[in-house]
Amino acid sequence: MQKSFKYTYVVIATVLGLAIAACPQQGMAQRFSHGGGGGGFSRPAPAARPAAAAPRQEARPAPARPAPEARPAPEARPAPEARPTINGGGRNVGNHDFNRTNVNAHANVNVRANINVRDNVNVYHTGAYRGIHPYNYHPYRPYYWGPHWHPLGFFLASLAADATWFNFNNQRYYYDDGCYYLPSNGGYSVVPPPVGAVVPSLPDGYETTMVGNDTYYYFGGAFYVSTDQGYQVVVAPPGAVITELPTGAVDQQVNGEDILVYNNTYYQPITQDGQDAYEVVPGPGQ
């Protein structure tokens, strides 16, 4: 009788085990780390198989971030009535903290070592160099930012009296009306803006462009960000849209499309709000 009871117990335990195995199993941790301490993609391995014991996300940390539903709901929109959305509608668009360390205890996010995989990412698809906006060819018309602006390589025997100078990378640059000069052959030649240099002001005629939540200033083929000291020259940010390109841009055929290259930056012809424009796109190998 006792033996029979034991046998019954074993059978029940086996059935229960099978039932558990039939349930959606623990995944092989194939998901990203979301704030809730789990989340992410589901692709559970069959638990009944030995391999299902592959490291589950046992390391899933406690939810350090607020639960998703705590995010501001979209009721703020002028919709006549709040329409429930599948995820509460709250999200963070274009306002990312790029230096946020991983909330799930992935330490040291910003200082990576041994990033060798990236070096092999050279396989660009057809249509590479393309940005968010669709390619839309329009003729390139070199632009001049007024009589005081000069293209790269332009030679001046003397500078205007109100030109300023600054030392950068052990070189004395002269700056006037959005142009950068270096002494050359007894005069001054226009050179590309040195990335990192700061100038006190930009001439009239600059345009602003947003990339994500960041504002960039554009003038004479150079991009700037605003700092406490003035406007700092930066590398052209992919995604930036500008309306004019200086003289000196070179048309380059990429997969049958005309991409303009100016000062090592790739510009894709696009149309924005019915106007001809250019979008900065990643160049080859970038």
Tokens read off for 261:
């290259």
Minimum Å gap between C-beta 76 and another protein is: 13
Closer to another protein by CB, 190 or 259: give it.
259
Rounded Cα distance between 259 and 281, Å, is: 9
Minimum Å gap between C-beta 280 and another protein is: 9
Closer to another protein by CB, 232 or 247: give it.
232
Minimum Å gap between C-beta 65 and another protein is: 7
Minimum Å gap between C-beta 187 and another protein is: 38
Cα dihedral 47, 51, 57, 58 sign: positive
Closer to another protein by CB, 26 or 189: give it.
26
Report CA Rg, the chain: 29
What is the DSSP secondary structure assignment for residue 98, as one 8-state letter?
Answer: T
Each as own residue / partner, the long-range contacts of residues 20-28 (CB below 8 Å, 24 or more positions apart, any chain) are: 20/47, 21/46, 21/47, 21/48, 23/47, 25/52, 26/52, 26/56, 27/56, 27/57, 28/52, 28/54, 28/55, 28/56
Closer to another protein by CB, 59 or 182: give it.
59
Closer to another protein by CB, 116 or 229: give it.
116
Closer to another protein by CB, 10 or 64: give it.
64
Closer to another protein by CB, 133 or 154: give it.
133
Minimum Å gap between C-beta 97 and another protein is: 8
Minimum Å gap between C-beta 262 and another protein is: 18
Minimum Å gap between C-beta 258 and another protein is: 16
Minimum Å gap between C-beta 108 and another protein is: 9
Render 218-279 in DSSP notation, one character per residue: EETTEEEEE-SSSEEEEPPPTT-EES--BTT-EEEEETTEEEEEETTEEEEEEEETTEEEEE
Closer to another protein by CB, 94 or 139: give it.
94
Element (H, E) at 14: helix 2-22
Tell me the Ramachandran region of residue 256: left when phi exceeds 0, alpha when psi lies from -120 to 50, beta otherwise. left
Please, is 36 exposed, middle or buried when counting C-beta atoms within 10 Å of its C-beta (0-12, 13-18, 19+)? middle
Q: Judge contact between 178 and 219, C-beta under 8 A.
A: yes
DSSP helix/strand/coil, 115: coil
Tokens read off for 262:
């100016």
